[in-house]
Structure 1
Amino acid sequence: MVMPDPKRKFSYRDYATWAEEKRIEIVGGEPYDMTPAPSRKHQYTSKQLFAALNDYLSGDPCEAYYAPFDVRLFAEDRADDQVFDVVQPDLVVVCDPDKLDDAGCKGSPDVIIEIVSPSSIKMDKKVKRHLYEKAGIKEYWIIDPIHAYIEVYTLENEKYGKPLFYSKEDHLKSALFKDLKIDLEYIFE
């Protein structure tokens, strides 16, 4: 696949025409190559967490989705050629069914979960944390499967405060889902 011209600002309309052989995200109109494919440990962590969330959300209007799943931020009232932030988080939770369409999520999901790898850690911890804060993502979880910990950022007054840290021995809790309790031994087996 030919990579997009880096001097140009790209929109969701452009993104939708690109071949699917590479994972690309757009932040501020700039394309980011998200390859190579995730590691086995990354995929295992994603699978376990999705299973726990899916089980917890059963019968709830909120739904969990896993990558690849396009999230078009700042898109609620915009045409596709005016959407300049398109991400594919590892997992998302969407509680407003009006944000869901056949292309994914149009607007901000309630929770975004990124599982970091050595090649994505700067992007996930800095660029995306700022982007997700600006987009009003209520909770942002950053998972490090190699070191077996999770950082949870909660949006308060339109800003992320200090994250809560959870290790393999802990049970993850969420400010959004009061009775959610995920055994991290299960996630990081």
Structure 2
Amino acid sequence: MPDKPCEVFYSPFDVRLPLAQEKDEEIETVVQPDLAIICDRSKLDKRGCKGAPDLIIEIISPATAKKDMQDKFLLYERSGVKEYWLVFPLDCVIDIYALNEDNKYERTGLYHYPDKIKVGIFADLYINLGLVFLKD
């Protein structure tokens, strides 16, 4: 990632994903990911983010699983979100996808407690799942 300051935003935070070249007021695809990391400040405005964040993290629950694993997966892929993480808190698992050269998601890892995850969009950032999923 270039030397740009990145920011983390959490729900409720609107991410507007244009399908083509719609004017801002015409964008109908609006999502509120659990976490969004945005490194391009030009995408930020008073209404949230217009365009694809660099990384989106969705925390999966039984009520949201299908939407997060299918609908949002395809939407984020099409929109150019570089990395998409699916967090399964009950299983202490994180499933990570990154865009490949063909702009299609490829699984880059399936991580379990207490693994350490290398964050793909940052050169030297690792996340210790032993600290994310606190077990008794």
TM-score of the pair, normalised by structure 2: 0.90
1:132 corresponds in structure 2 to 76
1:68 pairs with 2:21: no
Alignment partner of 2:96: what SS?
Answer: strand
Q: Determine which of 125, 132, 135 is the counterpart of 1:180.
A: 125
Alignment partner of 2:69: what SS?
Answer: helix
Q: Determine which of 34, 39, 43 is the counterpart of 1:95.
A: 39
- The percentage of counterpart residues that share the same residue type is 46
2 CA distance for matches of 1:178 and 1:126?
A: 29
User: How far did 1:161 drift?
Assistant: 1.1
Structure ranking higher in strand proportion: 2
- Identify unmatched segments of 5+ residues in structure 2: none
Contact 1:139/1:153, CA 8 A, preserved across alignment: yes
Task: Name the aligned partner's letter for residue 72 of structure 2.
Answer: K
Contact 2:119/2:127, CA 8 A, preserved across alignment: no
**Gap change, CA 1:100 and 1:79, over 3 Å in 2:** same
Structure ranking higher in helix proportion: 1
2 CA distance for matches of 1:173 and 1:97?
A: 24
1 CA distance for matches of 2:93 and 2:126?
A: 15
Pairing of 1:101-112 with structure 2 (within 5 A): 101-112=45-56
Deviations 1:85-109 (A, max 9, x none): 1000000000000000111101111
TM-score of the pair, normalised by structure 1: 0.66
1:166 pairs with 2:111: yes
- Indicate the structure (1 or 2) with the bigger Cα radius of gyration: 1
Q: Determine which of 155, 159, 181 is the counterpart of 2:99.
A: 155
User: How far did 1:74 drift?
Assistant: 1.8
User: How far did 1:79 drift?
Assistant: 2.3
In the alignment of these two chains, the number of paired residues is 131
